[in-house]
Amino acid sequence: MTELTSLTIAVALDKMRAGECSALELTEAHLARIERLDGDIRAYLTVSADFAREQARAADAARAAGGERPLLGIPIAIKDVLSTKGIETTCGSKILRGYHPLFDATAVARLYEAGAVMLGKLNMDEFAMGSSTENSGFFPSANPWNLDHVPGGSSGGSAAAVAANMALATLGSDTGGSIRQPASFCGVSAIKPSYGRVSRYGLIAYGSSFDQAGPFARTVHDLARILAVIAGPDPLDSTSMPTPVPDYFAALAGDIQGLKIGLPKEYFAEGLQPAVASALRAAVAELEGMGAEAREVSFEHAEYCLPAYYIIAMAEASANLARFDGVRFGARVDGADLIDSYKKTRGAGFGEEVKRRIMLGTYTLSAGYYDAYYGKAQAVRTLIRRDFDALFSEVDVLIAPVAPSTAFKFGEVTADPLQMILADELTISANLAGIPGLSVPCGFDAAGLPIGMQILGAPFTEAWLLQVGAAYQRATDWHLRSPELG
């Protein structure tokens, strides 16, 4: 049965269409593997086995009746940041324990309409705040390549589930790197779409002006397939863009002859782990061999990204998390009066990192500090956007490492929250500017941990990024390697 769990979506669909396996068999194979491996990896917070079987049976019936759909019978799983009707949705936080949403997030509803089978909800840093899953309110997930190492975060469960063949694809969310960084740490492919490309309806908000949901899968082809389903305007999200969704598949076959690649020198600076730097150089050389032209460029305000991002993200988080008070959603700790109940619920329900960010965000938004911090950070954000506008008038894509290092060990970085923040330095600029970013595997370090390459483009150029990623995956096999998990 195990080989059914290592398929790409494309091959799984072919097999089902040819009658070589049913959606139910595919689903059962995944549920069995989750049962066998997830005790160690802990990618899942909830396994919705009965729901999945029901969807799989419906998929088989639909196929038998001739009703083909883009993801009919494909087992997927969803980061617990996305609302799922009737299925517990915690956002990795104890404060939302017992919360069963009354509706599906639009991205989830679109996957269901396309025929996908939902295996369960995936672990994450609490409210998507973190880079390792160690901030999960429940337990950390492990990296399938080495269980002593983190899978990255905040969508660590989404990356680990694909890497360990416990789902054919997953959804995650990226506010400052949370799709690209865990994909890189776990050796899978993933894309953070442009801001406004995928509806945020039902995506529990962290930093509303940054958050985007996006897919993880084994190949760029499979990413294109999922993105085509979830992308596009949504009347329920006024920040979703009316820009038409291009044919992502048409782009995949194209070559990259003459592609202009910019290598931001600030992103290849000292501090990169040597194995990461050399894997990136080799990947760029590979693309040059296919006809691309690479040159160094400069990203003027790169050093201001971290402070601007953390000020704005925490400010937005402090406003977004005010709704969790024990009255409307999830768990409540009763107190002597209403205010006491709020305090006790939040005191017990929120973890350390979430409390720290609510306090810092409230501080930067308070009268007297607003202009000095929040207003300034917004002004810096505009400069960063302009840097990217200028860069994309010179080159077609930018290429950089996803993270300065490969996956670190549990506890190694957590003890120092500032170190954890520094690990985001290469990903957050894309969120500040709202641009798309693709992460694809491009090598391994000496310890056998995966390395990822990040390909960034101008707003709404996902098709372009997928084309470059697909060309790279035709020429290399890093994405086809899997950890030995027995």
**154 binding ligand GLN? (CB under 6 A):** yes
Using CB under 6 A, count the residues that bind ligand GLN.
13
CA proximity to 483, closest of 211, 227, 145, 184:
145
Q: What is the DSSP string of 12-41?
A: HHHHHHTTSS-HHHHHHHHHHHHHHHHHHH
List the catalytic residue out of 22, 79, 199, 405: 79
End-to-end CA distance of the chain: 13
Stretch of 49-57, 122-130, 247-255, 329-337 lying at the interface with ligand GLN (CB under 6 A): 122-130
Q: To the nearest whole angstrom, how small is the minimum distance from the Cβ of residue 115 to ligand GLN?
A: 29
Q: Given 154, 158, 194, 429, which residue is catalytic?
A: 154
Dihedral of CA atoms 70, 72, 77, 81 in degrees, nearest 10, equals: 60
Residue numbers 313-352 binding ligand GLN by CB under 6 A: 313
CB 439 within 8 A of CB 472: no
| Minimum gap (Å) between residue 68 Cβ and ligand GLN | 35
- Told to check if 433 binds ligand GLN by CB under 6 A, we report no
With tokens 């917070």, the residue in question is 45
Q: Give the bridge partners for 217, in sequence order.
A: 169, 189
Looking at the Cβ atoms of 130 and 137, the one nearer to ligand GLN is 130
Q: How far apart are CA 385 and CA 391, in angstroms?
A: 10
Least Å distance, CB 174 to ligand GLN, is 5
Contacts of 199 (CB under 8 A, 6+ apart): 105, 106, 107, 230, 232, 233, 234, 236, 237, 240
The tokens of 295 are what? Answer: 């040159």
Q: Which two tokens stand for residue 373?
A: 């911090």
Q: Which of 131, 136, 178, 405 is catalytic?
A: 178
Pattern 123-142, binding to ligand GLN, x per CB under 6 A?
A: -----xxxx-----------
Q: How far is the CB of 432 from ligand GLN (least distance, A)?
A: 12
Smallest CA-to-CA distance from 175 within 42, 356, 315 is with: 315
Binding mask 80-119 for ligand GLN (x = CB under 6 A): ----------------------------------------
Strands (E), 178-331: 189-192, 212-217, 260-264, 293-297
Residue 79 a catalytic site member = yes
Phi-psi region of 114 (alpha: psi -120 to 50; beta: other; left: phi over 0): alpha
Binders of ligand GLN among 203-242, rule CB under 6 A? 206
Judged by beta carbon, residue 206 or residue 408, the one nearer ligand GLN is 206
CB 127 within 8 Å of CB 182:
no
CB of 201 to ligand GLN, least distance (A): 18
Report the residue from 177, 182, 232, 330 that binds ligand GLN according to the rule CB under 6 A.
Answer: 177
405 binding ligand GLN? (CB under 6 A): no
Pick between residue 134 and residue 174 the one whose CB is nearest to ligand GLN.
Answer: 174
Residues that bind ligand GLN (CB under 6 A): 128-131, 154, 174-178, 206, 313, 424
Catalytic residues: 79, 154, 178
